[in-house]
A = this chain, B = another copy of it.
Amino acid sequence: MVALNNNPHRAVVEYQVRRAVYQRLGRPLPRFAAAPNPLVVNVSARHCHLTEAAVEILFGKGYKLTPFKWLYQEGQYAAKESVTLIGPRSRVISNLRILGPCRNFNQVELAYTDAIALGFEIPLRCSGDIKETAGGMLMGPAGFFEMPVGVIRAMRHVHMHPDDVKFYGVKAGDEMKLKIGGSCGLVLDRMLVRADPSFKLEVHIDTDEGNACNLQPDTPCELIN
């Protein structure tokens, strides 16, 4: 299997075309085109982050993850490897995708619909904040790995470069809103701002949020303070 060379996100192409058109016409840029970066909104389906040690237990000694699809954030990928998550009532989710590269903690991110199907009680947490959360059992081709904690619903959030933070007038830890249009549109309140010089402007919502508004590549989205 070869890692895919992704096409650019539709929002990125639209942003570039619109800027070019406004500049060509000599018109002032409207706010969405004046922003330093295109707004990309992606739905994160259920997935997990694993340590190298957990990967070795699940897949075998010395095993390394293989990138399958590059994600929008630099260096992040969906691995070709997946695991089976076994819930407290022995119900399972198979093909739980692993996102790479490895981290220094183990974490499973589910939507509430997934958690209810599995029989998990999961808290809403910022990624990495897994103290006193539910655990679970992962199964891979080489073995089982028990996570004592780490099953969460990730808080909806926006990754921002310092240029974006400045343009939108916010700071890390603030909350913004995301307005999503279309025939079943909605406004997501309380979207956490995460900022880092390595980040590209991108909102991550889960499958419940994405399906509640039927988010498609051409659905209009707007960040609101």
Contact = CB atoms under 8 A, between A and B. Distances in A.
A177 to B, nearest CB: 8
Interface string A210-223: 01101000000000
B186 A188 contact: yes
A124 B183 contact: yes
A44 to B, nearest CB: 13
Interface stretch (A10-18, A19-27, A111-119, A132-140): A111-119
Contact of A211 (B187, B190, B208): B208
Interface in A168-225: 183-190, 206-209, 211-212, 214
B214 A112 contact: yes
Nearest to A184: B124
Contacts of A113: 111, 113, 207-208, 211
Nearest to A207: B113
